[in-house]
Amino acid sequence: MKPLFTVHPGEWLVGSEIEHRFRHLHVWLPAKDTGIDLLLTNTDNSRSVSLQVKLSQDYVVTHHPELDLRFTGWSTLKRRKIETSKAQYWVLVLLGFGNRTRDFIIIPPKLLATRLAAIHGEKEQTYFTVNRHGQCFDRRGLKQAEDGQIVAGTYRNEERDFSAWLNNWAPIEALND
């Protein structure tokens, strides 16, 4: 069994956010790595939601100070792990250091895998970006002009748009019912 103080920072951030938003839910940490980082249950523990958590580093300040964004990060998400995930949802933590923001993409793993395959093919790296308009896109491989559209809030690409899952706590809120 792992000691409690080895909790991954992303897991701690998600657990903390859930405890703040949903005071009646229980947040559980598994004793060993099973591919599920957090287990959430309702008050009487009769229903649950399992989460896999990934934390992305912010690169706005170091790599893109010219872009007025809340967050832009780089992640390597292994498609095979996503496709075979036992978790009901993956939570991608987008922690903006320069702008002191916290955003979360909460998405079913099969949907995440399908969308990433459509955007990148076999490549496993993503550049999730959150603009000041509350939109979230995977901007890996985009041109400079498209970056400008993301900043302005005028970029449109259904495949790359992850805004519907940005800070969408509905799957967790459903445990409160």
2: phi then psi, degrees, rounded to nearest 5: -75, 145
Whether residue 5 has pLDDT greater than 70: no
- How far is residue 67's CA from residue 146's CA, in Å, rounded to a whole number? 12
Rounded Cα gap, residues 150 and 156, in angstroms = 8
Average pLDDT over residues 105-125: 93
Delimit the domains of the chain by residue range. Answer: 4-176
- Give the model's confidence band at 23: pLDDT under 50 very low, under 70 low, under 90 confident, else very high: very high
Banded pLDDT at 130 (limits 50, 70, 90): very high
- pTM value? 0.93
Domain 4-176 has CATH 1.20.120.80: no
User: Model confidence at 24, in pLDDT bands (50, 70, 90)?
Assistant: very high
Tell me: pLDDT of 3 over 80. Answer: no
Residues in contact with 153: Cβ distance below 8 Å, sequence separation at least 6, in sequence order: 131, 132, 133, 135
73: Cα separation from own chain's centroid: 11
Average pLDDT, rounded, for the chain: 92
Average pLDDT for residues 7-12, to the nearest whole number?
A: 91
pLDDT at residue 129, rounded to an integer: 96
User: Would you put residue 171 in left (φ > 0), alpha (ψ -120 to 50) or beta?
Assistant: alpha
Residue 13 corresponds to which tokens in the numbers above? 């951030």
| Cα 4–chain centre separation | 23
Q: Indicate the burial class of 118 (C-beta count within 10 angstroms; 0-12, 13-18, 19 or more).
A: exposed
Residue 62 has pLDDT above 80, yes or no: no
Q: Are 153 and 135 in contact (CB under 8 A)?
A: yes
Residue 176's pLDDT is: 79
